[in-house]
Chains A and B, each alone.
Chain A
Amino acid sequence: MTIDNLHQLHRLIARNRFWEKIFIVFGILSLLVGIITLLALLIDMTIDGLPRLSWQFFTSFPSRKYEEAGILSAWVGTCLVILVTAIAAIPIGIASGIYLEEYAKKNWLGDIIEINVTNLAGIPSIIYGLLALGLFVEQLKLGRSILTAGLTLSLLVLPIVIVTTREAIRAIPNSIREAACALGASKWQTIWDHILPYSIGSILTGIIIGLARAVGETAPLITIGALTFIAFLPDSPFKSEFPYISFNWLQAEFTVMPIQMFNWVSRPDPEFQSNAAAAGVVLVFMTLAMNAIAIFIRYRLRRRIKW
Chain B
Amino acid sequence: MSEKYLKLSPTIHLAPRIIRNLRERIVELLLLGAAISSIATTIGILGILIYESFSFFQQVSIIKFLTDTEWSPLFENPRYGVVPLVSGTLVTTVVALSLAIPLGTIAAIYLSEFASPKLREIAKPCLEILAGIPTVVYGYFAYLFVTPLLQIPLPDLPGSNMLSAGLVMGIMIIPYVSSISEDAMRAVPVHLREGSYAMGATRLQTALRVVFPAAISGISAAYILGISRAVGETMIVAIAAGLQPILTWNPMEEAATITAYIVGVTQGDLPHGSLEYQTIFAAGLVLVLMTLVFNILGHFLTKRYREVY
Contact = CB atoms under 8 A, between A and B. Distances in A.
A98 to B, nearest CB: 6
B136 A261 contact: yes
Interface residues of B, number: 89
B120 to A, nearest CB: 10
A253 to B, nearest CB: 13
B202 interface: yes
A277 to B, nearest CB: 7
Nearest to A295: B125
Q: Is the interface of A mostly helix, strand, loop or mixed?
A: helix
Contact of A133 (B106, B127, B225, B266): B266
Contact of B31 (A28, A99, A258): A99
Given A38-B133, A219-B263, 11 more contacts: A19-B204, A38-B130, A40-B141, A103-B31, A122-B291, A123-B232, A127-B49, A127-B284, A130-B49, A130-B280, A188-B24
Interface of A: 16-17, 19-20, 23-24, 26-28, 30-31, 33-35, 37-38, 40-41, 44-45, 48, 91-93, 95-96, 98-100, 103-104, 112-113, 115-120, 122-131, 133-135, 138, 155, 158-159, 162, 186-188, 209, 212-213, 215-219, 222-225, 258, 261-262, 265-266, 273, 276-277, 280, 283-284, 287-288, 291, 295
B40 to A, nearest CB: 10
A134 B125 contact: no
A280 B137 contact: yes
B70 interface: no
B204 A23 contact: yes
Contacts, number: 261
Given A40-B145, A283-B137, A125 B42 contact: no
A30 B103 contact: yes
Given A124-B233, A134-B48, A159-B38, A280 B106 contact: no
22 contacts: A27-B111, A30-B106, A34-B171, A38-B126, A38-B129, A96-B31, A96-B34, A103-B31, A124-B232, A127-B288, A158-B41, A216-B132, A216-B133, A218-B134, A223-B262, A223-B280, A225-B269, A258-B134, A265-B140, A273-B140, A287-B134, A291-B132
Contacts of B24: 186-188
Given A127-B45, A219-B234, A295-B125, A262 B106 contact: no
A128 B128 CA distance: 24
Given A45-B141, A127-B45, A34 B127 contact: yes
B135 interface: yes
Contact of A34 (B138, B174, B263): B174
B144 interface: yes
